[in-house]
Amino acid sequence: MPTSTRSSGGGPATSALLSGRTAVVVLAVILIADFMELLDATIVSVAAPAIAQDLGAGEAALQWVLAGYTLAVGAGLITGGRIGDQFGRRRVFLLGLAAFTLASAGCGLAPNPGVLVATRVVQGLAGGLMIPQVFGIIRASFEPAARAKALGAYGAVLGLASVAGPLLGGVLVEADLFGLGWRAIFWVNVPIAIVGLVLGARFMPESRVPGDTRLDLPGAALAAASAVLLLLPLVQGRDWGWPWWGFVILALLVPVAALFLVRQRRLVARGEQPILDPALLRVRAFAGGLSASLLFFGALGSYFLLLSLYLQLGTGRTALETGLVILPYAIGSIITSGIGVQFADRAGRALLMSGALVLAASQVVLLLVVRDGAAPSYWTLAAPLFLGGLGLGLTAPSLINVVLAGVPAKDAGAAGGVLTTVTQVGNALGVAVLGVAFFTRLAGSFSEGATSLLAYGDAFATILPWQIACYLAAAALMLLLPRRANAPHE
């Protein structure tokens, strides 16, 4: 086993560089854990109708099953990396993996929608704790050449998870393994994670950043509270009947967010490390990148959930057939992901804008298909979905790198963490806002006597123009970004 060097403070500072079988095992463990977290962000979409039927989950509960997870991942990412730097990346990774395993089992045992939402939030927090350690472990434990290959493998896993999520969800729901039905999508994590825990405890070296790395826990709490105050009334408002106190909750977002910014300024003034340095918001590339990411991932966040509801409850497809319909989207994103990363250094901004515009075009075509009123064939759906995947692959893998090219090098780490968190918040916000629009129109269509096909088609067609507008606005904001991913900060 590799040994750890020690810092002057007595704790492990950097790990010995890995080689041979140990390096392969450690890389496999962290990539499998990463794969599970990414998979659980998408696999639920296809299983949502089965969950609703089995647990009697309402529309808001379905939104929380998805939005609660992504929001919790974002909240965990705020401090997860810094916790690993301070207490040891191996220790925090294994702790996060263990919590993810238990939460997955809790999801699989959930007797009602409330318990499922709660365990999904715990699962997301565990993922947010676990995932930031992946990059730290790779940086600390692999030689430069091996590190590049490891990061390339990470990109491949990202693409594989996007393919496997909807398809595996459909297969597991349809197969009804051991009579588990939709619960199998969570139970499948448990044996895999247990193997990862055993191998990680045996082979993974410890590493951490020397010196004192303080956590801004009050700041993290204020940031998380701001997100909850925004999403809670939006997701639950329709079920509550839009009461006055729901708008009071939403209004509380303003003072809480202001307290967060005041605290961050005070930390900077004292020479301490904030979660977000407010000065970064004055950097054109960063401010534009935050806004573009929020809109881009906001449009994307609710897409597969609402598409799955339309395909299964509207057109009558099974969960497996729905996964197969979504497969061309994932294939398209894999095809262009490599191209996007390769050309980001030379065409960064133009590449990102092209991807957003291609996504907008794909939604226009899909809108025409859905508005036709008839149940669309596989290939009629596959064409716009494949086009959308091509657009996603051009933009998503390179967005953060292009934005960070316009940020001072000393702030790149903090800016990257905030950007990653904003993508998760954007996903959750998209589920909340567009989900409300979808379900409101759905109820209206049913009240007018529409069939399931027409009602779900009408509801899905209602949110597509909003997604198109988000992609177009994101493309416009990308004009503020650097022209190339390797452009020096101006």
Count of other CB atoms within 10 angstroms of residue 316: 11
- What is the model's pLDDT at position 152? 64
The region of weakest confidence among 4-18, 110-124, 217-231 is 4-18
Overall pTM > 0.95? no
Residue located via tokens 């409101």: 440
Evaluate if residue 214 carries a pLDDT over 90: no
- What is the model's pLDDT at position 369? 94
Residues near 414 by beta carbon (within 8 Å), at least 6 away in sequence: 273, 274, 275, 276, 277, 280
pLDDT, tens digit (0-9, with 9 covering 90-100), for 436-490: 899 999 999 999 988 999 999 999 999 999 999 999 999 999 999 887 766 555 4
- What is the model's pLDDT at position 3? 35
- What average pLDDT does this structure show over 261-290? 86
- What is the model's pLDDT at position 9? 35
DSSP 118-148: HHHHHHHHHHHHHHHHHHHHHHHHS-HHHHH
- What is the model's pLDDT at position 271? 81
- What is the model's pLDDT at position 344? 67
At 382, list the tokens: 């596959």
Q: Which domains does the chain have, with CATH numbers?
A: 14-216 (1.20.1250.20), 279-490 (1.20.1250.20)
- Spell out a b/e string for 196-205, using b for 16 or more CB atoms within 10 Å of the CB, else e: bbeebeebbb
Give first-to-last CA distance, the chain, whole Å. 45
Task: For residue 248, count CB atoms less than 10 angstroms from its CB and return exposed for 0-12, middle for 13-18, buried for 19 or more.
Answer: exposed
User: Which has the closest alpha carbon to 196: 81, 73, 104?
Assistant: 104
The region of weakest confidence among 44-58, 103-117, 214-228 is 214-228
Judge contact between 229 and 252, C-beta under 8 A.
yes
Residue ranges of the alpha helices (H) in 313-451?
A: 319-371, 378-395, 399-404, 412-447
- What is the model's pLDDT at position 393? 85
Evaluate if residue 432 carries a pLDDT over 90: no
Average per-residue pLDDT for the chain: 84
